Structure 1
Amino acid sequence: MNRYLTFEKVVALGSFTKAAAALGYTQSAVSQMINALEAEVGVRLITRGRGQITLTAEGKRLYPWIERLVAQYRTLENKVDEVHGLDGGVIRIGTISSVTRQWLPKLIQEFEQQYPNVRFVFHQGDYALNSEWIKTGAVDFGIVTPPAVKNMQTIPLKSEQLLVVLNPNHPAAQLKAVPLTMLAHDPYIMVEQGNYSEPLNAFHAAHITPNLKFTIHDDYAIMTMVEQDLGFSILSELVLNRMPFKIKALPADPPIQMNLALGFKDKDALPLASQRFIDFMAARKRELV
């Protein structure tokens, strides 16, 4: 059925690239599914041009029937979900503040259009807490960084840049990028991330021992402290979006990246509502900003 779903999405969006992004596939996978569908029906369905696609004469004749097949399949899926209790299911997520604030509201709003009676329970923590909650079953799945977890399945979501957060009066605040060597002796206000920290790894790789002054779990509190000139921090670009604080956020030199992923033990053993939401998030990962 995936071949028909993919074909319908390619035609609807008019692009292999856009369809791949919407479905969470690679462009190569989309192309292979269309080729397989054409082999199955025995006719060419799509003509591929530069940056656009058009239906062949045979494709135009078959497309309305494929549209109906896809619509019927989605109706069947919804009925199966109702039978399995997804219509009133509970989705338990281990999350982090930036993802809760930036990604989840829009995703949930879209998901609820299809499943309006599903409930969400958030456990907000850090990489270590989310990993522990997943292992103990306190949450169904959670936001993790792959290097920090073991014995767990992960689906990559996005790579985020970490930025150096400074008081506007700091000597480095006017630079385009802040060398880590300039921060070696300044008070470091570190966000609590459990037993794995990308900034600490970056400092160690540069043979620098930072002057760790404060360790705090709250991003807002950290930005307030930087605003009061109590030190610098290194935070995700995702956290810093739409923040009202009087601070400067600049790339580090060398750059520091944070890889975010969905983590879970056994997807097939999770409640159906959580399985659906994992698939939903994975399919929209290219839209996450």
Structure 2
Amino acid sequence: MNIYYAFIKSIETGSFTKAAKELGYSQSAISQMVNSLEKELSTTLILRSRKGIRLTPDGEDFLPYIKNICNSHRELIQKLKEMEGLQSGLIRIGTFSSVTCHWLPGLIKDFKKYYPTVRFELHQGNYTNISNWIKEGSVDFGFINSTIVSDLAITPLQKDQMLATIPKNHPLAASSKMSLKDLTTEPFILLDEGVINESLSIFKQNNLELNIQYEVQDPYAIMSMIDLELGISILPKLLLNRCPYNVETKPIEPSINRTISLAYKDKKVLPIASRNFIDFIIERLTK
């Protein structure tokens, strides 16, 4: 490839000497490379004179093709670098329990079928933690509730219904639905979602106040507490799909939903492995 770059740079600079300086060769080396190209093409491409160099008619005809070769080679090298990054890349993700348990294992398993050497680093927290980690660069991207986070690029994935979660033998266990007012009469176990809690916001909008007795970060701990009849809670349906505890779930009237989204600062500057995994997630979860 050096002979093609030597030829293009000589034409761009108008001098073998200047081309040699920019490419890190001697002037004689550049001249020899251009001579080699001329022998390969069986023609004269450049006319040399005391005033400098200029293209011959054949040189004019071959120039666009040689430029295409150089451009294609650059693209090939760039793609090689990207693939090397994809093969050895580290993907850092901000996530929360329901996504960590019910989405990511399958997504990671399928992604690693294509890129088995990619490594993953999962940082688990609430929505506020995750958005801060993205902004400060501690993670490449994260899963968040799109109604709560701002100042980031957001790609909605799926809506997730929030359900009232109560002990199996609770007096309202036979009801088909629970009202917001029903949920205010019992000791409430609040899931810590960060600075802004969407469930709390719904109650405030309806001038209702929960009887919060516990505030817990781990939703599985909340399920265990409900199982032992310490209180009731509101938990996401995604998390409750494979609940290991003896609890009852009920739709809430009016319904409460969250939109699980991907968030990142600037996708274009993320590592190639993270960009590809983002695209992989979107393709799988937005069908």
TM-score by length of 2: 0.71
**Aligned counterpart, 2:119:** 119
* Partners of 1:185 and 1:211 within 8 A in 2: yes
> Counterpart amino acid of 2:133?
W
**Aligned counterpart, 1:259:** 259
Deviation at 1:127? 0.4
In structure 2, the CA distance between the partners of 1:274 and 1:77, relative to structure 1 (3 Å rule), is: farther
Instruction: Tell me the distance in 2 between the aligned counterparts of 1:94 and 1:119.
Output: 15
**Aligned counterpart, 2:231:** 231
**Aligned counterpart, 1:269:** 269
Instruction: Tell me the distance in 2 between the aligned counterparts of 1:83 and 1:233.
Output: 46
Instruction: Tell me the distance in 2 between the aligned counterparts of 1:172 and 1:107.
Output: 37
Stretch moving more, 177-186 or 254-263: 177-186
Instruction: Tell me the distance in 1 between the aligned counterparts of 2:77 and 2:203.
Output: 50
Query: Where do residues 112-151 of structure 1 align in structure 2 (5 Å cutoff)?
Result: 112-151=112-151
* Partners of 1:84 and 1:272 within 8 A in 2: no
Secondary structure of 1:147's partner?
coil
Instruction: Tell me the distance in 2 between the aligned counterparts of 1:231 and 1:138.
Output: 36
Deviation at 1:79? 5.8
Asked if residue 106 in structure 1 is aligned to residue 106 in structure 2, the reply is yes
**Aligned counterpart, 2:203:** 203
* Partners of 1:158 and 1:285 within 8 A in 2: yes
Deviation at 1:81? 6.1
> Counterpart amino acid of 1:155?
T
Query: Where do residues 19-34 of structure 1 align in structure 2 (5 Å cutoff)?
Result: none
* Partners of 2:82 and 2:272 within 8 A in 1: no
Deviation at 1:93? 0.0
* Partners of 1:81 and 1:87 within 8 A in 2: no
Give the number of equivalent residue pairs.
212
In structure 2, the CA distance between the partners of 1:272 and 1:82, relative to structure 1 (3 Å rule), is: closer
**Aligned counterpart, 1:37:** none
Deviation at 1:216? 0.3
Instruction: Tell me the distance in 2 between the aligned counterparts of 1:269 and 1:130.
Output: 19
Instruction: Tell me the distance in 2 between the aligned counterparts of 1:269 and 1:278.
Output: 13
Coordinate RMSD, CA, aligned: 1.8
Deviation at 1:286? 3.4
In structure 2, the CA distance between the partners of 1:78 and 1:238, relative to structure 1 (3 Å rule), is: farther
Q: Alpha-carbon deviations, 1:132-188, whole Å to 9, x = none?
A: 100110000001112211210010011000000001222211111101111212111
Secondary structure of 2:209's partner?
coil
Secondary structure of 2:275's partner?
helix
Deviation at 1:109? 1.1
Instruction: Tell me the distance in 2 between the aligned counterparts of 1:272 and 1:80.
Output: 11
Q: Alpha-carbon deviations, 1:174-217, whole Å to 9, x = none?
A: 11110111121211101110012121112112210111110000
> Counterpart amino acid of 1:151?
D
Structure 1 outlier segments of 4+, above 4 Å = 76-79, 81-84
Secondary structure of 2:170's partner?
coil
Deviation at 1:84? 4.6
Asked if residue 175 in structure 1 is aligned to residue 175 in structure 2, the reply is yes
Deviation at 1:95? 0.3
Deviation at 1:77? 12
Instruction: Tell me the distance in 2 between the aligned counterparts of 1:185 and 1:133.
Output: 37
**Aligned counterpart, 2:247:** 247
Deviation at 1:233? 0.4
Q: Alpha-carbon deviations, 1:78-124, whole Å to 9, x = none?
A: 96465452110000000001101101111111111111110000000
Instruction: Tell me the distance in 1 between the aligned counterparts of 2:111 and 2:241.
Output: 23
Instruction: Tell me the distance in 2 between the aligned counterparts of 1:230 and 1:83.
Output: 52
* Partners of 1:157 and 1:260 within 8 A in 2: yes
* Partners of 2:94 and 2:142 within 8 A in 1: yes
- What fraction of aligned residue pairs are identical, expressed as a percent? 42
Instruction: Tell me the distance in 2 between the aligned counterparts of 1:261 and 1:77.
Output: 34
Instruction: Tell me the distance in 2 between the aligned counterparts of 1:192 and 1:77.
Output: 47
**Aligned counterpart, 1:286:** 286
